[in-house]
Structure 1
Amino acid sequence: MLIDTHSHIYSEEFTEDLDEVVQRAFENGVRKILLPNIDSSSVKKMLDLTDQYPQICYPLMGLHPTSVTEDYEEELELIEFWLKKRKFYGIGEIGIDLYWDKTFIHEQTEAFRKQLQLAKKYRLPVVVHVRDSFQEVFEVLESEAGEGLSGVFHSFTGTAEQARQVVGLGFKLGINGIVTFKNSGLDQVVANVDPSHILLETDAPYLTPVPFRGKRNESSYLIYVARKIAEIHQLPVAELARITTENAEKLFGI
């Protein structure tokens, strides 16, 4: 059994064949799919999918850093409204993204901090988005650490030293199709990370693994990520699946 700990299959890229996408995932051993939220515009589609497939899809609630603007506090109010209204399995995806635009770096930092506080309040793990912002993210995390704060660095592409820092804080590393890319160098980092610290993810519809790179990603392709990591660690795929599934079940309480 595999768990896709990060997938956006509720997005418009899957409007035409969503049922088939879920079926293919199931046929390829993916029994559970975690759905991180983006912002207020994505909540309904995400929850509709969760209600349609309650035994497979598990919702998270959060505000993505690239959706943070001057009105982020209104978005955070909506997030807490939903956290009070129904069950979620984590706060995500949240973090800081300085790749596209640094205009709202202050707002991103504050939104990240406040969502970490929500995670502690509701005793939920966090799914952290980091892009060109490892130091900024880590400083906020260290300042808010404690009170049972736990989570995963989604789509980890950092250095071996950064991986050690993440693990040292008690967080997991989310590894996806990038590990299959020939020149990513991520395989060398993953080789030095014990599988007990790894979660599998697709980030569908993005970051499609080899051999489908360049096409739309989907949760059924998680098997290619699992195979690559198993190869790196010289483990049977079934054993790698068992370890990472237990990691995900324990972290998210599923």
Structure 2
Amino acid sequence: MIDTHAHVYAQEFDHDRDTVIQRALAQGIDTICMPNIDLDSIEPMLATEAAYPHVCRSMMGLHPCYVDQQVHQTLDTIYAWFDKHDFIAVGEIGIDLYWDTTYRAEQENAFLTQLGWAKEKNLPVVIHTRNSMQETIDLLAQAQDGTLQGVFHCFGGSVEEARAIQDLGFHLGLGGVTTFKNGGMDKVIPHLDMDQIILETDCPYLAPVPHRGKRNEPAYTHLVAERIAGLKEISVEEVDKLTTTNAAQLFRLS
């Protein structure tokens, strides 16, 4: 399996990162994709990739929660990294209107700017959306010229939103929320096209049941797969095969 969205470089793993990676490998998760969030996360992310080069793969982007009045300077610095390192995606990027809408216009501009990078670099994008699903879909639709590919990570929306995303040629990243009793995904997942689903944890956040409320980690990807298998009435092995193929193609993983 592939954990397509894991902040395994975060400080929450500083005391036992190697053990966490080994648990993931033992559970059959052999690739961990790491999204960048801001300027401070670049160094630990690349250090983690260097320590586990056959497991961890890095992305580069600016998370919407870290957009502020210095966004243009920040984007310039992040963009320069694409000439220094090979990244598998532009991410994570998007719009977040949950905590603060002060920089909504700046978030939207940063999102569109980074979608432009994806076109230029021929890379997929990893999209974060919170309290902004329709706004994000609308902006993506405007930018979609047939070349953009990517994933709405941590998807927890409706069937209609899922179809709109899949109609744009994008994948749905399913993680711990799929296992939550009141998450609503039991009504959505049976209707999703498996050709556009990939697995993720978003660790250290959003741990799946039975670990909800605790630190999440890549090894728990299999719990997400088991939940999807139950809701789709197919085997875990089939979920593994389909989502791994989807992720490998999207991120061009060998």
Question: Which TM-score band (shorter chain)?
Answer: over 0.9
Q: Kindly state the Cα deviation for residue 142 of structure 1 after the two structures are TM-superposed.
A: 1.0
Q: Deviations over 1:197-240 (max 9, x none)?
A: 11100000000001111110000011100000011111111111
> In structure 2, how many angstroms separate the alpha carbons of the residues matched to 1:221 and 1:133?
27
Q: Deviations over 1:167-193 (max 9, x none)?
A: 000000000011101111112111100
Q: Kindly state the Cα deviation for residue 147 of structure 1 after the two structures are TM-superposed.
A: 4.9
Paired amino acid for 2:224:
V
Match in the other structure for 2:159: 160
SS at match of 1:94: strand
> In structure 2, how many angstroms separate the alpha carbons of the residues matched to 1:129 and 1:202?
13
Match in the other structure for 1:124: 123
> In structure 2, how many angstroms separate the alpha carbons of the residues matched to 1:185 and 1:142?
25
The 5 A counterparts of 1:1-254 are: 2-254=1-253
Unaligned segments of structure 2, at least 5 residues: none
> In structure 1, how many angstroms separate the alpha carbons of the residues matched to 2:157 and 2:180?
15
> In structure 1, how many angstroms separate the alpha carbons of the residues matched to 2:141 and 2:212?
35
Runs of 4+ in 1 over 2 A off after TM superposition: none
Paired amino acid for 1:219:
P
Q: Kindly state the Cα deviation for residue 48 of structure 1 after the two structures are TM-superposed.
A: 0.2
Say what the alpha-carbon RMSD is for the aligned residues: 0.7
Work out whether residues 89 and 253 of structure 1, in 8 Å CA contact, stay in contact via their aligned partners in 2: yes
> In structure 1, how many angstroms separate the alpha carbons of the residues matched to 2:143 and 2:49?
30
Give the TM-score, by structure 2 length: 0.98
Paired amino acid for 1:57:
C
Paired amino acid for 1:101:
D
Unaligned segments of structure 1, at least 5 residues: none
> In structure 1, how many angstroms separate the alpha carbons of the residues matched to 2:111 and 2:248?
24
> In structure 2, how many angstroms separate the alpha carbons of the residues matched to 1:194 and 1:234?
13
> In structure 2, how many angstroms separate the alpha carbons of the residues matched to 1:227 and 1:118?
35
Paired amino acid for 2:55:
I
Paired amino acid for 1:54:
P
Work out whether residues 120 and 147 of structure 1, in 8 Å CA contact, stay in contact via their aligned partners in 2: no
Identity %: 47
Paired amino acid for 1:85:
K
> In structure 1, how many angstroms separate the alpha carbons of the residues matched to 2:109 and 2:45?
25
SS at match of 2:172: strand
Q: Kindly state the Cα deviation for residue 113 of structure 1 after the two structures are TM-superposed.
A: 0.3
Work out whether residues 95 and 128 of structure 1, in 8 Å CA contact, stay in contact via their aligned partners in 2: yes
> In structure 1, how many angstroms separate the alpha carbons of the residues matched to 2:207 and 2:235?
23
Q: Kindly state the Cα deviation for residue 134 of structure 1 after the two structures are TM-superposed.
A: 1.2
Q: Deviations over 1:59-117 (max 9, x none)?
A: 00000000000111111111111111110000000000000000000000000000000
SS at match of 1:30: coil
Paired amino acid for 1:161:
E
Q: Deviations over 1:21-72 (max 9, x none)?
A: 0000000000000000000000000000001111100000000000000111
Give the TM-score, by structure 1 length: 0.98
> In structure 1, how many angstroms separate the alpha carbons of the residues matched to 2:146 and 2:187?
33
